[in-house]
Amino acid sequence: MKQYPTAHINAEPGDFAPTVLMPGDPLRSKFIAENYLTDPKLVNNVRGVQGYTGTYQGKRVSVMASGMGMPSIGIYSHELFSVFGVENIIRVGSAGALSTDIHVRDIVIGMGASTDSGFAANFNLPGTFAPICSYSLLEKCVACAKDVQATYHVGNLLSSDIFYRDDETANARWSKMGIMAVEMESAALYMNAARLRKNALCICTVSDHIVTGEEISAEERQTSFGEMIQLALETAIRV
């Protein structure tokens, strides 16, 4: 029997919409709710991880923070999927570019999520699992990106457990395998979605370039993130 609330989400059945946007930062969750949703209602605030449900263009949509890293998004996505009836999670965040074909302010959409994490060991598989997004969400997102004429790239991300990497050669080795950009959450999200037969997608704005050193200011970052949030919301209402 499902138990409400869970250890990390103090909510009731029906509090969350079928589609949830997940930024890492709780304050960004609050920002999205207050600036993009109509009549947002706070439905979770355990540990300051704020979750809201409102409407966007007449359709119910939720937004809740995931925290940083795969262990954190692994907890929240699992509980949303398995306990609260959520069907689709769209991660919205930032990424550091590795490809010279990608620039800051561009949007990267994770068709796949390679990883240096041991998260897949939890599933006790007799081989290597390839975390991929849900094609239905990807197809809708790309169509939306074309409609709004966003500068976007679709491909493989690296979900890393490590932010301050000691091995300075690692990024070049990932880059030669076609990795577009590095972030820290999508592989765990994709694996949970696969295990629980749900849908997931990661959309990130490139906030800095790991190879060239290019980066954008905090003010520019907020403006660039606005395009990504709009893209995620437009995708959400097409689900």
3-state secondary structure of 104: coil
The pLDDT > 90 percentage for the chain reads 85
Instruction: Give the pLDDT confidence score for residue 216 in this predicted structure.
Output: 82
- Give the mean pLDDT of 115-126: 95
**14 to 55, 60, 183, 227: CA distances (angstroms):** 14, 11, 31, 29
Catalytic-labelled residue, pool 25, 116, 161, 208: 208
- Give dist(CA 20, CA 91) in Å, integer: 8
Structure tokens at 15: 């509090």
Q: Which residues pair with 182 in a beta bridge?
A: 96, 158
Give 10-58 pLDDT, tens digit per residue.
888 899 999 999 999 999 999 999 999 999 999 998 898 899 999 999 9
Contact 108, 92 (CB under 8 A): no
The pLDDT > 70 percentage for the chain reads 97
Closest to 53 measured CA to CA, from 74, 36, 77, 73: 36
Contact 214, 69 (CB under 8 A): no
Q: Is 208 part of the annotated catalytic residue set?
A: yes
Structure tokens at 4: 């409400």
Structure tokens at 114: 């390679």
Closest to 180 measured CA to CA, from 78, 108, 132, 115: 108
Q: What is the mean pLDDT of the chain?
A: 94
- Give dist(CA 187, CA 148) in Å, integer: 27
- Give the mean pLDDT of 197-216: 94
Closest to 182 measured CA to CA, from 166, 152, 161, 199: 161
Q: How confident is the model at residue 83 (pLDDT cuts 50, 70, 90)?
A: very high
